[in-house]
A and B are shown apart, each in its own frame.
Chain A
Amino acid sequence: NAGVMQNPRHLVRRRGQEARLRCSPMKGHSHVYWYRQLPEEGLKFMVYLQKENIIDESGMPKERFSAEFPKEGPSILRIQQVVRGDSAAYFCASSRSQDEKLFFGSGTQLSVL
């Protein structure tokens, strides 16, 4: 059973471009979470999705950031018009149910030039 798959592992964007980060949860998992890790800091919750629904987006910046988890395909975290401050490692995690153990991917390192 493959773990949580994130791609790309590294993503370089220039200021003003769009970044799209992909996450395929573990097989059988319908709960997906996105976390952001800034340099020298712990992970910070961004958004919680369950197939086709956003359950909690309280950690998501109000502008430029969006997330989806369609019925088919991976979850996507989309950052429009990136700025240098968006440079961070973005982690996806999944679980089978809302109370079960969380499994993390290896993250996508976003660098904004």
Chain B
Amino acid sequence: AQTVTQSQPEMSVQEAETVTLSCTYDTSESDYYLFWYKQPPSRQMILVIRQEAYKQQNATENRFSVNFQKAAKSFSLKISDSQLGDAAMYFCAYRSSGEYGNKLVFGAGTILRVKS
């Protein structure tokens, strides 16, 4: 079974600075999807970024980018120019491409605090 590990329970960043959240995963599959979700205090899960494993190029969405290292099974999230609204719990998630449907495996999460 696939597992997702987020080794940083909590991270802090100064407003306007850059922060990187770590994620590693374990799988024997070659084709899969990886995601970062943001969960603010409202509790709603918001998709931040998605990466297909077969794509070499790292995904980017405005201030959010990933460093996808397939051989190392690492998928870190970089947040540039951090804003107060970025404060939330961030979850890394994995989905097998062979699985029918959106059955995601989540990590335990990293709390991100943004200091003004």
Measuring CB to CB, which residues of chain A are less than 8 angstroms from any residue of chain B? Answer: 31, 33, 35, 40-45, 48, 55-56, 59, 89, 91, 93, 95, 98-99, 101-102, 104-107, 109
Mark contacts of B90-116 with chain A using CB atoms, 8 A cut-off: 1 yes-contact digit, 0 otherwise.
010100000011111111110000000
Give the B interface residue count (CB, 8 A): 20
Chain B: minimal CB distance from A94 (Å): 9
Chain B: minimal CB distance from A21 (Å): 14
> In this complex, what residue of A is CB-closest to B100?
A98
Complex CA–CA separation, A101 to B108 (angstroms): 21
Complex CA–CA separation, A104 to B91 (angstroms): 14
Complex CA–CA separation, A50 to B82 (angstroms): 39
> In this complex, what residue of B is CB-closest to A42?
B106
Q: Are A40 and B108 in touch, CB under 8 angstroms? A: yes
Residues in A whose Cβ lies below 8 Å from that of B4? 42
Q: Are A33 and B109 in touch, CB under 8 angstroms? A: no
Contact flag A56-B42 (CB < 8 Å), given A42-B106, A101-B47? no
Chain B: minimal CB distance from A34 (Å): 11
Q: Is B45 an interface residue (CB 8 A)?
A: yes
> In this complex, what residue of B is CB-closest to A102?
B102
Pick the residue among B46, B101, B105 that contacts A33 (CB under 8 A).
Answer: B101
Residues in B whose Cβ lies below 8 Å from that of A106? 42-44
